[in-house]
Amino acid sequence: MSLPRRDLPSTASLQAYEAVARLGSFTAAAQELALTQSAVSRQVAALERQLGVTLLQRGPREVVPTPEGAEYATAARAALGQLQRAGLALQASPNQLTLAILPTFGTRWLMPRLPRFLRNHPDITVHFTTRIGQFDLAAEGLAAAIHAGRAGWPGTKATLLFEDRVQPCAAPALAPLSLLQIARSPRLSLASRPREWADWCAAQGLPDPGPAQMVFEHVSTMAQACIAGLGVALLPGFLFQPELARGEVVPLGAPWANGGGYWLMTPDTARPNPATDAFRDWLLTEVARGDGAFA
């Protein structure tokens, strides 16, 4: 569907308005955009005339978006960001891989193995960013992401690396505990997995234990709380083998498959990317090595 040009603001006016709305100042926006204050003011005024809406409330010391202006600023920011990411994607080298990783998986599993990938593919440059949960890969200009959990992301293809297995662990001072004692102990949980303890208890034939006493964003932080004796945590053993080997945490039960997995996610509309394909093949090779991935 084509849009009449009169309905499409210029990118210059959108940039000017977005900067003023975000910074609350024509002067600050002008400095950020390397323009004069009058040039920024003219761009914003032209945008308001084109839309027929007052976007800004101009005070003596600050500029505040109107309710309509605040909503439009959000839309303008998203549109400008999408254009920027699309341009970067077009400029990206076929030997460049932009990858989103989970913090703990990245530091504990991926990075120790990554030298093998780089030795075999010295021509590929890997750019890392950290993400947790679901997001729009294509909109963020990412070639792939490592994800833990379920694979049902809209607009993506999922390659299973291995299933996610966790086991109840505690500091030595808290062990040993029976299954019922585990369920009644202070429990540590991940914000992204609010039902994991309930599902574990159900799998053991135990009643729902109710909410966890402490909730964490990162599994590494939860593991440290577990080591400190703050409670029992369901930990992926393959990520914390050193702590288990040193006896800093003690497994209280067998590994349990929680129904999730570790996946390589790629946009389902992405153009073929040799770097992404090479990385996927390498990941599957590393998983097949079996050096602790399934512990």
Cβ partners under 8 Å of residue 79, min gap 6: 14
pLDDT at 138 exceeding the cut of 90: no
pLDDT tens digits along 175-204:
888 999 999 999 999 999 999 999 999 999
pLDDT tens digits along 245-279:
999 999 999 999 999 999 999 988 767 788 999 99
Q: Side-chain half-sphere of 109: how many Cα atoms within 13 Å?
A: 27
Q: Are 166 and 196 in contact (CB under 8 A)?
A: yes
What local confidence, expressed as pLDDT, does residue 198 receive? Answer: 96
Q: What are the structure tokens assigned to 110, written together?
A: 């991926």
Least confident of 16-25, 53-62, 216-225: 53-62
What's the gap between Cα 147 and its chain centre?
8
Average pLDDT over residues 215-226: 95
Average pLDDT over residues 11-28: 90
User: What one-character DSSP code corresponds to residue 122?
Assistant: T
pTM above 0.75, yes or no: no
What local confidence, expressed as pLDDT, does residue 294 receive? Answer: 34
Delineate the domains of the chain, giving CATH numbers in brackets.
5-91 (1.10.10.10), 96-295 (3.40.190.290)
pLDDT tens digits along 233-249:
999 999 999 999 999 99
pLDDT at 295 exceeding the cut of 70: no
Of 69, 77, 68, 56, nearest to 11 by C-alpha is 77
Average pLDDT over residues 9-37: 90
Q: Residues 210-225, buried b or exposed e (16+ Cβ, 10 A)?
A: eebeeebebbbebbbb
